[in-house]
Amino acid sequence: MPNRKYAAVTMVRDENLMLKIWYQYYSAQFGDDNLYIFDHNSSSAPVRSVLPGAKNVFRIPTDNPVSDPTGMLRKFDNYRFKFLSSQIASLLVYYDCIIVNDVDEIFVVDPRESSSLRDYLNSKQELKLTCGMGLEVIQDLNVEIAYDPEKPIFEQRKLFRYNLNFCKPWVVGKEVEITGHGAFSPFEIDPNLLLMHLHWVDYDTAHLRQSKRRDFYRDGRGGLKSKWNDTQDTKDQEWRDLLKLNISSRDMPHYDFLENLFPNYRQKVFSPATYKRQSGRRHKLIEIPKFVTNAQRNAVKNELHKFPSRFSDAAI
């Protein structure tokens, strides 16, 4: 088994709970020396105030790139991921593999395969560019109380839904340009890797984050094409709609439906040469949602699931 060197990277602005979850999880996996946080001009919650012991924090004290000082609203993610891609390329000089996440995401391994992300990745013969299965962890407002960062996630949260938008090829073992939901390079899909999106993990935190993002939007600080200007009522309705979905009795059914969507995906590299693109004009950009129909994408999302019992003992 190889003993690879790993780093985890994220970029944040005024984050609190999500940053603590991300940092705690990846510190346990890779050690805090190997975590790199880019603080994108935080004001109310600079990274150093949230994580005073963090080792590698790099502050970017401006919102807009010099090449486009007035276009940040429309190209917010474009610039952000060009920057992150360049940092990943530099870190790959010293590391075998870089794990990239938005701060409200973590890569977790299905416990039936391994109890450790590091051990699981070390078991792979080669790591180039890998995508995990995307899912959203959801607080059941009917029975679950506020999230406690001192307790494991799966002790507190039982519900999730799949979302192909979070199938992101962000386990990076080679130099590549990544984007918000994909990459300009073919990649593998590993169904045992679960990219857990934590936006819905805590109601109070979600409200606070949305309030900050609306302020950023109003002040011209990014996110025009995102949902940064959504009202709290809109977010509340989304949450209510989520909890109205039927709860499936199936155990992690993505192993089956991925095969139905992308036959033999375990033996192939995912690209336009192997699967038919259903939408999108940027043919060099590869994103999982662009290779399914709207009906297929919605079918994946329109059902809730419960984490199987094997997740209960996972120390996450």
| 229 contacts 217 by C-beta, under 8 angstroms | yes
pLDDT tens column, 102-133: 999 999 999 999 989 999 999 999 999 999 99
Output the pLDDT for position 63.
81
Output the pLDDT for position 279.
85
Output the pLDDT for position 84.
96
The average pLDDT across 18-45 equals 95
In the predicted structure, residue 67 carries a pLDDT above the cut 90 = no
Closest alpha carbon to 101 in 143, 56, 131, 67: 131
Count other C-beta atoms under 10 Å from residue 92's C-beta: 17
With bands split at pLDDT 50, 70 and 90, how would you rate the model's confidence at 213?
Answer: confident
To which H or E segment does residue 12 belong? Answer: strand 6-12
d(CA 239, CA 220) in angstroms, rounded, equals 27
The average pLDDT across 68-85 equals 79
| 189 contacts 167 by C-beta, under 8 angstroms | yes
Q: How far is CA 314 from CA 57, 112, 253, in A?
A: 28, 10, 20
Work out the burial of residue 124: count CB atoms within 10 Å of its CB; fewer than 13 is exposed, 13-18 middle, 19 or more buried. Answer: middle
Query: Which residues of 157-288 form beta strands (DSSP E)?
Result: 159-162, 171-172, 188-197
d(CA 276, CA 272) in angstroms, rounded, equals 6
Query: Which residues of 48-183 form beta strands (DSSP E)?
Result: 56-60, 97-100, 105-109, 129-138, 159-162, 171-172
**109: β partners:** 193
If you ran DSSP here, which 8-state letter would residue 180 be given? S
The residue with greater pLDDT, 281 or 258, is: 258
Closest alpha carbon to 133 in 197, 179, 193: 193
Q: What percent of the chain has pLDDT over 90?
A: 77
- Structure pTM? 0.94
d(CA 300, CA 189) in angstroms, rounded, equals 16
| 29 contacts 8 by C-beta, under 8 angstroms | yes
Output the pLDDT for position 254.
97
Would you mind telling me the total number of residues written for the chain in this entry?
316
Output the pLDDT for position 60.
93
The average pLDDT across 246-271 equals 95
pLDDT tens column, 82-97: 999 999 999 999 999 9
Output the pLDDT for position 240.
93
pLDDT tens column, 133-165: 999 999 999 999 999 998 999 999 999 999 999
Closest alpha carbon to 193 in 248, 129, 143, 237: 129
In the predicted structure, residue 62 carries a pLDDT above the cut 90 = no
Work out the burial of residue 48: count CB atoms within 10 Å of its CB; fewer than 13 is exposed, 13-18 middle, 19 or more buried. Answer: middle
Residues 6+ apart with CB under 8 A from 121: 4, 6, 97, 127, 171
Output the pLDDT for position 44.
87
- The pair of structure tokens assigned to 139 is 């607080």
Q: What percent of the chain has pLDDT over 70?
A: 96
| 96 contacts 6 by C-beta, under 8 angstroms | yes
Output the pLDDT for position 117.
96
Work out the burial of residue 9: count CB atoms within 10 Å of its CB; fewer than 13 is exposed, 13-18 middle, 19 or more buried. Answer: buried
In the predicted structure, residue 230 carries a pLDDT above the cut 90 = no
The average pLDDT across 268-296 equals 90
Query: Which residues of 120-212 form beta strands (DSSP E)?
Result: 129-138, 159-162, 171-172, 188-197
| 290 contacts 277 by C-beta, under 8 angstroms | yes
The average pLDDT across 13-19 equals 93
